[in-house]
Each structure stands twice: as structure tokens, then as C-alpha cells.
């Protein structure tokens, strides 16, 4: 039986491991933390994306559209909470109407059920929303992604996969008789193939394996607020702004969660360490690595002012954050929101300063490396897993 080592215990790593076991491979999963879904998977907005935003034909377009169906089917089959509730993308000014129309055209090209609606029709879904037009997207949903991971772990246990928490990959080299060897603190694991799903550390793992990845991971923190319980009635479902097409982030939005709470966010600021969930989380090593990478300086020249500065100001100001939300729902004030954690997005950046806008998967002999898999990777996890399994099997 062929053996595979998967590095990373987030949703993409676990989904990949499960897909490999379904194809008859013997799988070992290494996760450096003491729990599964510890980082990106456990700190995201738990939205099942429809595939609306992405360039037709891209990995993101194809995998998120298919993933929207497969992750919902998986959740229903294995008892994971999920609700397909739809969402509104709202244009709050006439200037945003062309971009909203482009989104509608992209939805049609990607096979996403969506329609342009009037302000009065938008208020039938969201009575408190303010807009000049909106796009209603029917297939967007909300889910519990950590619970998806728990279900995958159960399935992997039943398949006799070797699941190892608290285990880091410290060295990777070609095997003496073929395949790969992965050194942990306790042993050297021999396998026929390696799959790198290390998320925030994916580029480092690739370099550890002897590759020179085409992009570098730069961590961006997204901070969330939530509406106070007495103000949750202001939002019935999901309300998104028209995004800036030049950025990989969708903008601050409002999301009703499965438990009835309403999350607001995220913004996007450079994190001061790979796993930097607050401004106090600081790593001299991580920051030095960022500072030495020319792509970061080229990105900064393009976006530091006013976009980056506005994001930092919003990070420190509840009033500014509330003002962003009030563009969508005018009744929201700074007294209505409280802090609610943050997440860190592993965003791949090229040396020329270009943000990688699609999933990036690179291969070497007996190796597959997932080097860019931010949102909508959780939605697309089962589809990414199939693609990786195909690469391993080829």
C-alpha cells in the first residue's frame, strides 16, 4: 500500500487525508498544535461561499462552486450544522453599480444562482439595509467548519489513519530508496509521498523540502466585532459590500451565525507574526523575514496609502469600524458592537508585489505543496482534496 504524509491539520489537510484514505492509501497526518483546525479553519467566518467573486475557469471559481455543494452535502450526511441562507451583496452608491453588474455577470459565468434586485426587494430580505441595488446570492450558507474537521477526524480514525497532534515536521529529504523522509522530534517517517497543507507555514515547509516556492506567505490579520444581543435583530442573514476588485479581501461584512449571533468584519492588517492574532503578538524572526522580502515593499508602495492606513485606523477605532458597517446597515452604531476575536489569513505574495489571487499548488517529485489556500479554501476543501489526490496518484 502506498503511504503519504500530510503536514497540516486544518480543513484542507484533513480533507486531503480523508480523500487519500478513500483511494486506498495509508496516511499519516502531522499537526504541530495540540488540536485540529487551530488556525485559519478555526478562526474564519464560517461562511459557505457560492463561487461568486472569482475569475471564471480559475481554481477558486471551479472549486468553490463545486465545493459549495459538496461541503453542504458532507455536513448533512455527517451531522454537521449547516444552513443555506443566501446573502446580499449591496451597492451603497451609484459608483458601485458597475462593479455590482460585473459580479452578476461573473456569477452567471460561474454557474452561481444570483440575481440583481431593487432596494425595496433587498429590504424584503434585510429590512434595515441601505443600498441603491443589490445582488441576491441564493447558495451562500453558514456552517461550523471546526465541526467539519471533527467529522473528518472521526472518519480518518475509522480508516486507521495515523493522526499525530503536537508533531512538527523538522526536516524533509528524499528517501534513500525513493519517496520522502520526514523528521519529527521523535522519529523519521518514511513515505511514498508528501502533501504540504501547512497554511501559514506552507512556504517554509516547501523550503524545508528543498523547493524554492514561487510565492511567500504574508500574514494578514482580520479582526471581528459582533452585534450586542439586543441589536442582533438588525441583521437577518448575510450582508456584504461590493468588494474592491484589486484586493483579495471582501471588505467588512455582517454575518448571522448558526447560534443567532451576528459577526461583523473582518478588516485586514499586516500581522506582526505568522500566528499574530493581536497587535501584541510579535515575532522578530517573522517580521525580519517580511522586511527582507521585496514583494512586501512593492505591495506597500501600491496599497499602504490610503488603503492600508485606513485598515490600521479601523483596527484601533471601534467608531471607524462601526462607520463601515453603517454603510450597509445605517442603524448600527459604535455602541452596538463589541470585540470578537480575529483570524490570520495566509496570503501568498509574489516577489513583484502581486497578491496571488488563486489557489496555488506546486509539485515536485513525490511532493505536493498547497502554497495559497485562503478563503474560499474551507468551502472548497473537499474539491482541493480531490485535486491533490489526483496529483499524488499521477
DSSP 242: P
Across all residues in the chain, what is the average pLDDT? 96
Confidence (pLDDT) at 248 = 63
Write down how long the chain is: 394
Structure confidence by residue, pLDDT tens digits, 90-129: 999 999 999 999 999 999 999 999 999 999 999 999 999 9
> Whole domain around residue 318: which residue ranges?
216-349
Question: Which candidate, 255, 219, 261, 220, places its Cα nearest to that of 237?
Answer: 255
Residue 336 belongs to domain with CATH number? 3.30.9
- Scanning the structure block, which residue is given the C-alpha cell 451603497? 92
251 and 206 in a single domain? The answer is no
Is the same domain home to 183 and 204? Answer: yes
Residue 394: per-residue pLDDT: 80
Chain Cα centroid distance, residue 282: 22
Average pLDDT of the residues in 212-239: 97
Do 96 and 242 form a contact (C-beta atoms < 8 A)?
yes
| The three grid cell numbers given for residue 8, joined into one nine-digit string | 497540516
What are the tens digits of pLDDT across the range 30-62? 999 999 999 999 999 999 999 999 999 999 999
Q: Are residues 7 and 156 in the same domain?
A: yes
Q: Please report whether residue 7 resides in a domain.
A: yes
187 plus 249 within the same structural domain: no
* pTM of the complete model beyond 0.85: yes
Q: Tell whether 282 and 292 lie within a shared domain.
A: yes
Assess whether 180 and 287 both reside in one domain. Answer: no
Residues 261 and 375 in one domain: no
Q: How many domains does the chain have?
A: 2
Q: Which three cell numbers stand for residue 140?
A: 451562500
> Given CA atoms 101, 105, 108, 110 in this order, what sign does their dihedral have?
negative
Answer positive or negative: Cα dihedral of 34, 278, 339, 124: negative
pLDDT of 229-244, one tens digit each? 999 999 999 999 998 7
**pLDDT tens digits, residue range 251-277?**
899 999 999 999 999 999 999 999 999
CB 273 within 8 A of CB 282: yes
Domain CATH for 40: 3.50.50.60
Q: Are residues 27 and 156 in the same domain?
A: yes
Output the DSSP codes for 29-53.
EE-SSSSSS-STGGGS--EE--S-S
Same domain, 287 and 186: no
Q: Give the Å distances, CA to CA, from 116 to 91, 103, 193.
A: 11, 10, 47
Domain co-membership, 231 together with 313: yes
Task: Provide the pairing of β-strand 3-7 with 193-196.
Answer: parallel
Cβ atoms of 254 and 325 closer than 8 Å = yes
Amino acid at each position: 500500500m502506498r503511504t503519504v504524509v500530510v503536514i497540516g491539520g486544518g480543513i484542507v489537510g484533513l480533507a486531503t487525508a480523508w480523500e487519500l484514505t478513500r483511494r486506498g492509501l495509508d496516511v499519516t497526518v502531522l499537526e504541530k498544535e495540540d488540536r485540529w483546525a487551530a488556525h485559519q479553519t478555526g478562526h474564519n467566518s464560517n461562511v459557505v461561499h457560492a463561487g461568486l467573486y472569482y475569475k471564471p475557469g480559475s481554481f477558486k471559481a471551479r472549486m468553490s462552486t463545486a465545493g459549495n455543494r459538496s461541503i453542504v452535502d458532507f455536513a448533512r450526511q455527517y451531522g454537521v450544522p449547516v444552513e443555506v441562507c443566501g446573502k446580499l451583496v449591496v451597492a451603497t452608491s451609484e459608483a458601485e453599480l458597475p462593479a455590482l453588474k460585473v459580479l452578476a455577470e461573473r456569477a452567471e459565468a460561474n454557474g452561481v444562482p444570483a440575481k440583481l434586485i431593487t432596494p425595496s426587494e433587498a429590504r424584503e430580505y434585510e429590512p434595515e439595509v441601505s443600498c441603491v441595488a443589490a445582488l441576491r446570492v441564493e447558495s451562500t450558507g453558514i456552517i461550523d467548519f471546526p465541526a467539519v474537521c471533527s467529522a473528518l477526524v472521526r472518519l480518518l480514525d475509522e480508516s486507521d489513519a495515523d493522526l499525530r497532534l503536537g508533531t512538527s515536521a523538522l526536516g524533509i529529504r528524499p528517501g534513500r530508496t525513493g519517496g520522502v523522509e520526514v523528521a519529527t522530534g521523535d522519529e523519521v517517517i518514511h513515505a511514498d509521498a508528501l502533501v504540504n497543507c501547512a497554511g501559514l507555514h506552507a512556504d517554509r515547509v516547501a523550503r524545508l523540502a528543498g523547493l524554492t516556492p514561487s510565492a511567500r506567505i504574508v500574514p494578514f490579520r482580520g479582526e471581528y466585532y459582533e452585534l450586542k444581543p439586543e441589536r442582533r435583530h438588525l441583521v437577518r442573514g448575510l450582508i456584504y459590500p461590493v468588494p474592491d476588485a484589486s484586493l483579495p479581501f471582501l471588505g467588512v461584512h455582517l454575518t448571522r451565525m448558526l447560534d443567532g449571533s451576528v459577526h461583523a468584519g473582518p478588516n485586514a492588517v499586516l500581522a506582526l507574526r505568522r500566528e499574530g492574532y493581536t497587535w501584541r503578538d510579535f515575532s522578530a524572526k517573522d517580521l525580519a523575514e517580511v522586511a527582507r522580502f521585496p514583494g512586501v515593499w512593492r505591495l506597500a508602495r501600491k496599497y499602504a496609502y490610503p488603503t492600508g492606513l485606513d485598515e490600521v485606523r479601523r483596527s484601533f477605532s471601534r467608531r471607524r469600524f462601526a462607520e463601515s458597517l453603517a454603510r450597509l446597515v445605517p442603524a448600527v452604531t459604535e455602541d452596538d458592537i463589541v470585540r470578537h476575536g480575529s483570524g490570520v489569513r495566509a496570503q501568498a505574495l509574489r516577489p513583484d508585489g502581486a497578491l496571488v489571487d488563486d489557489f496555488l499548488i506546486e509539485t515536485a517529485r513525490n511532493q505536493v505543496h498547497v502554497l495559497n489556500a485562503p478563503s474560499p479554501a474551507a468551502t472548497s476543501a473537499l474539491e482541493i482534496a480531490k485535486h491533490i489526490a489526483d496529483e499524488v496518484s499521477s
